[in-house]
Structure 1
Amino acid sequence: MATLLSVTLSSCDRDLLETFPNDRLSESLFWHNENDAKLAANALYADLDGVNIISWDALTDIAHTNQNFDVQAYIELGSYDATSSKIYTEWANAYKGIRATSYFLANVDKVTTANTALINQLKGEAKVLRAYQYIKLAGLFGDVPLITTPLSIEEGRSLTRTPVSQIWDFVDQELSEAAPLLPLTYAAADKGRVTRGAALGLLARANLWAGRYQKAANAADQVIKLGVYGLYESYEKLFSYAAENNREVLLDNQFIKDTYPNTVFQTLAPYSQKNGGSSYVPTKVLADLYETSTGKRITDSQSGYNPTQPYVNRDNRLKYSLYLEGDILPSGAVFKPQPTSGTSDAIGSTYIASTTGFNIKKYINTEDYANPANSGINIILLRYAEVLLTYAEAKIELNQLDAEVLTAINTVRNGRGDVKQPSITSTSQAELREIVRRERAVELAFEGQRLFDIRRWKIADKVVPGPVYGITYVSANGSLTTVQVVAVNKVFDVNRHYLWPIPQKEIDLNNSLVQNPGW
């Protein structure tokens, strides 16, 4: 009996040692059925960008990193190098997404199913999500390692950088192959998944950034002709909960309060709003880019612009994108940023209050006021207005100045119920180039496009450097005073800042990676 008990206990001990980890699934238990494939594809969306896209605009002329001790502030000042944690984080997050999608594509065919259409759709989603990361990496760093399969640690130590032209080739091929695998729309339960329109819209973006204008125009035209997309009727409400999943959105990162929240309210809101962070704030440069309601620049003597009432009779997108003096805040209070206002939003009242006197209004919703760190608002990554402007810009650069160019631009300018700027009629390539660039700045402000735009246009070294200015107000002595942010002088070195440095951590781990020029 004792011997039998001993053998039994020994057998039990061996069974106890043969356990599965309780924090993950073994591959032997996964990749069996359609549900496994769909769950794995769902997980890929977590690597999409979110609130961080807004931070990119603060590295340009239209916004500013509000706290000077923020790691990103050093990039504005030009006093950063390859050890910057901001730069490493963007690199690491992108390659995390690439690894996840590559792993999915290497394993999804293990699933046994007759539903090949579903598997092909999921493959298409993964290809688009991987291409999204490569578009960003190419825009930020230029040549980067092209990885399409899961790598071992040792393989990762010998990677080299792939010429950026080949990255663009890969992205073009991936998105072109993915588009026909994807549906035009999804049922309500699957809203937010990658569609054919998202694939083609990203294809247009990628080719525009690469300077491949005919391909960009063709891809944008395909999106237009799908007949699925259009502008949302209200620019003011476009970034609200009520507008989620509207027909203008091609791609977004979908969040859920309590379950999968973001911190956009806490990050951007004025300080008076439950200690809002004002982490990134608009500048005077952006405010001045919005035309008057007559369609003229404020520098035009015929515009009717009144500097003592700077926000009256302006393009409505200004007041829908920026918190301006007198606006009603989510708390019900009035926004009063002037230094002498005595409010917690007054410039200089605290180091957290906006140093320019402007705050970002997009994505700031009353529903999030009670719990600012628990926002469920979706962050838009690609929308139809961008596609229209991409189409127009590509055709302008090709000097294909037909009626469709003007239609695309004017749809953005006056195709909504609450945005009615006068139509553009110019047929001059130089004038249209300036117009479409300004439209991109004001229409897509705080949506992560400006940094890539001014770098590909090669104007960053002209528009970024210099002091940062904010609101203009009537001071106590009756004179007009323009706020200048203290001790900030933005720097953009033409010899090296058009590309970020490859993170030093990556070079330390792999000496086959060659650093970008000037770093």
Structure 2
Amino acid sequence: MTFSSKTRQLLSVAAMSLMLASCQEDLLNPVPNDRISTATFWKTESDALLAANAAYSYLTGLSIFALDGITDIGHTNQVFNVNAFIESGTHDASNSRINDEWVNAYAGIATVNDFLENVDKVATTNSALIERLKAEMRFLRAFHYVNLAGLYGGVPIVTKTLTTDEAKQLKRDEVQKVWDFVTSELTAVASVLPTTYPATDKGRITRGAALSLLARASLYSGQYQQAATAASEVMKLGYSLYPQYGKLFSYAAENNPEVILDRQYISSAGLSHNIFAHMGPYSQKTANNTFVPTKKLADAFTMANGLPITDPASGFDPRNPNKNRDPRLGFTMFLSGDPLPSGVAFRPEPNSGTADAIGNTYLATTTGYVLKKYINPEDFATPAVSGINIILIRYAEVLLTYAEAKIELNQIDQSVYDAINLVRNGRQDVKLPSVPTDLSQAQLREIVRHERMVELAFEGLRLFDIRRWKTAEKMMPGNVYGMTWVDNNELKTVQVQAFERVFNPNRDYLWPIPQKELDLNKELTQNPGW
């Protein structure tokens, strides 16, 4: 019997949990008949698939919204949320978000290591399957290390199952060693992984995913030639932009040719998440608006003619701020007057008298903006049970990675302009003017950074970007602002009350190593300033 990849992921979570719970049993004891044990597991191809699928469950999911929600383009909507402490600079090494990112990554790494140590016990003549699964697992491990290095800097590189004593003696590896490990792993697996899978296996790791992650990691670590080369290889594999940005994050667009890697879900099989309840407008069955876009993000979208709204020649009308804008503005966030999944209009103005009005409740948006990506009408009936896949890598990012790497290398040619312009006007519903061809390196650098900000908003990349560019100390500090609206013929701009962002450049370019880890392992050292 063949199961889809989504169903296998669901089955594997329970299977691996039971298996790991019993792996330390005394061999003199009889094999228990109420759980999976190593005495009965690692026998068949099915066991190998189930174990591999368990590792997929540690892929990033809704945490991408938190990572963007603590940057300049997002805001943690409730001040008592642990993410708000990071945003305001009042967090420390005991913050649960900082701990959870570390714990999830190393749990995923441990699952991969367990797989790699045991999968060769499986009796099969299908060696190609086993080698492919090993490559998938090594990718997933590298994926975690990319995030760990970006968040914490140097971390322990763990490639085997550890005893308790070994775990207590781990030391941090230098961050460049982590990047080198990621490069080695992704380069090795890219040659093993297939470029595509049949429909029953959609969501598994491909060669394109390995090369795309290599391009991302290389960009993060400043290895620009490697980033450009990896991205160019992806550009030869047949990916393309989905023709409608406005539908890219809908159920209808799942598994489209722009998606290179996503976290797969299926609510009908019990593998779901609560994105609608987590991020949707409050009026939609009291959704939480957990992280909301800011004025900084809204204002970053240019006019449809390509000019910034601050340009006197742009045609921007502050009394009608959403008219003639880059269409991605309205595709990224709900704007005043937009129809909501329930059929009512979104009216967040403080004087609107609606459930979504700023100040109506602490759960309503504090900026007047709400994320539209992933908020689908199909989830309105059951907002806490969504099955929409969460995109982790897509082709537009690869194009911008290629362009940025070439710009940083000062290897500016037509291919750089082509990559940027494809993102700007390569879709049916996004037709911004092409970038002029006589720009300097500095001008192109600002353009590609701007495109990453607006094209990839709330896709989990902004925090890593402003850290590696060393611009966070300029982008982050200060008050948080929201929409501008007309009140008694007077323009007013929302300022989030009693909240100020703080960013200490001597400390905040890295998160602290979680305090729990320091308490368990005295060999770990803390990051500067913590």
Q: Is the 8 A contact 2:379 2:385 kept in 1?
A: yes
* Structure 1 equivalent of residue 307 of structure 2: 296
Q: How does 1:27-42 map to 2 (within 5 A)?
A: 27-42=38-53
Paired residue secondary structure (1:484) = strand
For residue 162 of structure 1, the aligned residue among 160, 173, 188 is: 173
**Residues 135-182 of structure 1, C-alpha deviation per residue, up to 9 Å, x if partnerless?**
000000001010011111111000000000000000000000111111
Q: Does 1:355 align with 2:362?
A: no
CA distance in 1, matches of 2:117, 2:108: 14
Paired residue secondary structure (1:225) = coil
Q: CA deviation at 1:22?
A: 5.2
* Structure 2 equivalent of residue 442 of structure 1: 454
CA distance in 2, matches of 1:430, 1:209: 19
* Structure 2 equivalent of residue 194 of structure 1: 205
For residue 255 of structure 1, the aligned residue among 253, 265, 272 is: 265
**Gap change, CA 1:22 and 1:372, over 3 Å in 2:** farther
CA distance in 2, matches of 1:309, 1:154: 64
**Gap change, CA 1:23 and 1:513, over 3 Å in 2:** farther
* Structure 1 equivalent of residue 17 of structure 2: none
Q: CA deviation at 1:20?
A: 3.8
Paired residue secondary structure (2:267) = coil
* Structure 1 equivalent of residue 18 of structure 2: none
* Structure 2 equivalent of residue 183 of structure 1: 194
Identity of matched residues, %:
60
* Structure 2 equivalent of residue 332 of structure 1: 343
**Residues 353-410 of structure 1, C-alpha deviation per residue, up to 9 Å, x if partnerless?**
0000000000000000000000000000000000000000000000000000000000
Paired residue secondary structure (1:47) = coil
CA distance in 1, matches of 2:224, 2:477: 29
AA in 2 matched with 1:430: A
CA distance in 2, matches of 1:21, 1:394: 55
* Structure 1 equivalent of residue 99 of structure 2: 88
Q: Does 1:466 align with 2:513?
A: no
Q: Does 1:396 align with 2:407?
A: yes
TM-align CA RMSD? 1.0
Q: CA deviation at 1:25?
A: 1.3
Q: Does 1:433 align with 2:445?
A: yes
CA distance in 1, matches of 2:254, 2:43: 34
**Gap change, CA 1:469 and 1:104, over 3 Å in 2:** same
* Structure 1 equivalent of residue 283 of structure 2: 272
AA in 2 matched with 1:457: W
Q: CA deviation at 1:18?
A: 5.9
AA in 1 matched with 2:124: T
CA distance in 1, matches of 2:382, 2:49: 32
CA distance in 2, matches of 1:266, 1:58: 16
Q: CA deviation at 1:29?
A: 0.9
Q: How does 1:493-512 map to 2 (within 5 A)?
A: 493-512=504-523
* Structure 2 equivalent of residue 379 of structure 1: 390
- Deviating above 4 A after TM superposition, structure 1's stretches of 4 or more consecutive aligned residues are none
**Residues 222-251 of structure 1, C-alpha deviation per residue, up to 9 Å, x if partnerless?**
000122x10001100000000000000010
CA distance in 1, matches of 2:125, 2:187: 25
Q: CA deviation at 1:280?
A: 0.3
* Structure 2 equivalent of residue 451 of structure 1: 463
Q: CA deviation at 1:19?
A: 5.1
* Structure 2 equivalent of residue 10 of structure 1: none
CA distance in 2, matches of 1:20, 1:74: 48
For residue 172 of structure 1, the aligned residue among 146, 162, 183 is: 183
For residue 134 of structure 2, the aligned residue among 89, 98, 123 is: 123
**Gap change, CA 1:22 and 1:280, over 3 Å in 2:** farther
CA distance in 2, matches of 1:42, 1:23: 22
Q: How does 1:17-36 map to 2 (within 5 A)?
A: 20-21=31-32, 24-36=35-47
Paired residue secondary structure (1:29) = coil
CA distance in 2, matches of 1:294, 1:22: 68
Q: CA deviation at 1:39?
A: 1.4
Query: More displaced, 17-26 or 327-336?
Result: 17-26
Paired residue secondary structure (1:44) = helix
Q: Is the 8 A contact 2:407 2:444 kept in 1?
A: yes
CA distance in 2, matches of 1:19, 1:441: 58
CA distance in 2, matches of 1:398, 1:138: 23
Paired residue secondary structure (1:72) = helix
CA distance in 1, matches of 2:305, 2:125: 60
Paired residue secondary structure (2:392) = strand
* Structure 2 equivalent of residue 14 of structure 1: none
**Residues 271-298 of structure 1, C-alpha deviation per residue, up to 9 Å, x if partnerless?**
0000010000000000010010000111
* Structure 1 equivalent of residue 252 of structure 2: 242
**Gap change, CA 1:22 and 1:349, over 3 Å in 2:** farther
* Structure 2 equivalent of residue 7 of structure 1: none
The TM-score, its normalising length taken from structure 2, stands at: 0.94
Q: How does 1:102-113 map to 2 (within 5 A)?
A: 102-113=113-124
Name which one, 1 or 2, has greater alpha-carbon Rg. Answer: 1
Q: How does 1:146-157 map to 2 (within 5 A)?
A: 146-157=157-168
CA distance in 1, matches of 2:34, 2:315: 64
For residue 230 of structure 1, the aligned residue among 240, 245, 250 is: 240
* Structure 1 equivalent of residue 231 of structure 2: 220
* Structure 2 equivalent of residue 11 of structure 1: none
CA distance in 2, matches of 1:91, 1:367: 33
* Structure 2 equivalent of residue 12 of structure 1: none
